[in-house]
Structure 1
Amino acid sequence: MRDAGLERAIDAAGGVAELARKIGIAQPSVSNWNRVPAQRVIAVEGATGVSRKVLRPDLYSEPAAPDDAVDPTDAARAQEYALLATLLSSAPSAALLEQIAQLHGDATPLGRAHATLAEAASVAAVSEVEREYFDLFVGLGRGELLPYASYYLTGFLHERPLSRLRDDLAALGIERVESNFEPEDHAATLCEIMAGLAVARFPVPTEAQRTFFEKHVSRWMGRLFADMEKAENAKFYRSVGTLGRNFLEIESEAFTFVN
């Protein structure tokens, strides 16, 4: 029997087949779910607009640290990472595009990136963004961009950077779900991990956040976002690239200042 969160996601997507199509997996896989698997929460949220807290309240309802213990800056950082993780994991739903269109900007580079993304979301058609996501990250054989650390650092997939990442995740006690066949060095996964580290969702030392960022994020992900800005098939995702690049520049400066 399906739980309430999965039922809402299926309704929002327009049926089991449509949900499977939106997140890029086979229909029988979704048909066999009783609830949304942990490794699919971000993709389903992005595809349907149903909050992760509704999809998996056992995983997302309560933060690891009390609300008053999370610094507002860290909470805002986590939101940026979570938004990037969602947009990198799957094409956004109509509901998510509507939410993004409400973002407000300011005179800072990051604020201008927010305003540009909001404008792009306000005029984007869901079907066009889905096609754009497919062309950029999936493709027939491969997409225009390969959002993996191994590829950006070595030119090949499943190389030493992925092995090192797996070692560090094991040391931090962050486990990979066995049914998740996407390599852990995907940009969406790394952004989701950084979101969790920012609000102390994972029980790891404070220093681990900076170390993880410098070893597994800052060395390559800025180049991915820069490539996204000039990608031939990018339209809506050009503004995602601008946001990601500006945000990571701020993160790098902040961690350097802490050092």
Structure 2
Amino acid sequence: MTLDQQALYDARLELVDFLVAAFADVPDAEFVAGLLDGDVQLPDGEVNEPLDRGFDGVETFLAEARTRDPEAVQEELEREFTRLFVGPRPRILAHETYYLDDSDFRGAGLAEVEASYGAAGWTPPEDYPEENDYVAVELAFLRHLVGEQRAGREEAFGFQRVFHEEHLSAWIDDFAADVREETDEAFYEAVAWLLEGYVAFEEEVATQMA
């Protein structure tokens, strides 16, 4: 593996790690401290339009948030995450089977998602608070596939291409658009752009390599 390939895998994994953390659960103090302390590495140059808009949005958010009390930032993000995704009446249901018209919400469609995981030999971690078609779980599966590719398992590109076609890419743009429409919080608007751009980038990689 060349240094350029290594750097690309590092960047892909770092970004999907960030997105998994952003959507997995209510943002806690540790997550916000990582944001404000500079753990997020923003790339130089252009990638694709949604990713570029997302990186710009994160940079703008951080420039303002770093002037404030971290506890206040964490509390604001927690309130907005809860309003958007938790409820008691969440504004958005961040599940594939909610967005796909031909799927039963948390029914047969969920079994199809889980079958894709099983075909690739992956079992979702038990510490996610939602069903296995939740956005953070699907991103965790994508992270697994990228890690397998990095380890030289070329069949992972095929699993990834099929997963994009049948699952992740079929709903994520609509989900990201809903997040941007529903939120006035700069962080979640930026994260929605990053999510849309990252999935599009990964789909292109998988299509070219499979």
Query: TM-score interval w.r.t. the shorter chain?
Result: 0.7 to 0.9
Amino acid at match of 1:95: A
Distance 1:182 1:209, change over 3 A: same
What is the aligned residue count?
192
Q: Does 1:139 align with 2:74?
A: no
Distance 1:106 1:181, change over 3 A: closer
CA contact (8 A) 2:160 2:206 kept: no
* Partner of residue 173, structure 1: 121
* Partner of residue 230, structure 1: 181
* Partner of residue 33, structure 2: 95
Distance 1:131 1:249, change over 3 A: same
* Partner of residue 113, structure 1: 54
Relative to total residues, which structure has the larger helix share, 1 or 2? 2
Per the TM alignment, residue 80 of structure 1 is displaced from its structure 2 partner at its CA by 1.4
* Partner of residue 205, structure 1: 155
- What TM-score do the two structures reach when normalised by structure 1? 0.64
Distance 1:197 1:177, change over 3 A: closer
Q: Partner of 2:192: helix, strand, or coil? A: helix
State the Cα deviation string for residues 31-50 of structure 1 (Å, max 9, x = none): xxxxxxxxxxxxxxxxxxxx
CA contact (8 A) 1:194 1:213 kept: no
Percent identity of the aligned residues? 25
Give 1 or 2 for the bigger CA radius of gyration.
1
* Partner of residue 82, structure 1: 17
Q: Partner of 1:77: helix, strand, or coil? A: helix
Distance 1:176 1:196, change over 3 A: closer
Whole-angstrom distance in 2 between the partners of 1:119 and 1:179: 32
Distance 1:119 1:232, change over 3 A: closer
Root-mean-square deviation over aligned CA pairs: 2.9
Amino acid at match of 2:204: E
State the Cα deviation string for residues 204-243 of structure 1 (Å, max 9, x = none): 8232122222222111112111111111454421111111
Q: Does 1:72 align with 2:72?
A: no
* Partner of residue 194, structure 1: 142
- What TM-score do the two structures reach when normalised by structure 2? 0.77
Distance 1:105 1:74, change over 3 A: closer
Per the TM alignment, residue 188 of structure 1 is displaced from its structure 2 partner at its CA by 0.4
CA contact (8 A) 1:117 1:239 kept: yes
Per the TM alignment, residue 180 of structure 1 is displaced from its structure 2 partner at its CA by 5.6
Whole-angstrom distance in 1 between the partners of 2:21 and 2:95: 15
Unpaired segments ≥5 residues, structure 1: 1-65
Give the alignment partner of residue 253 of structure 1, picking from 199, 204, 208.
204
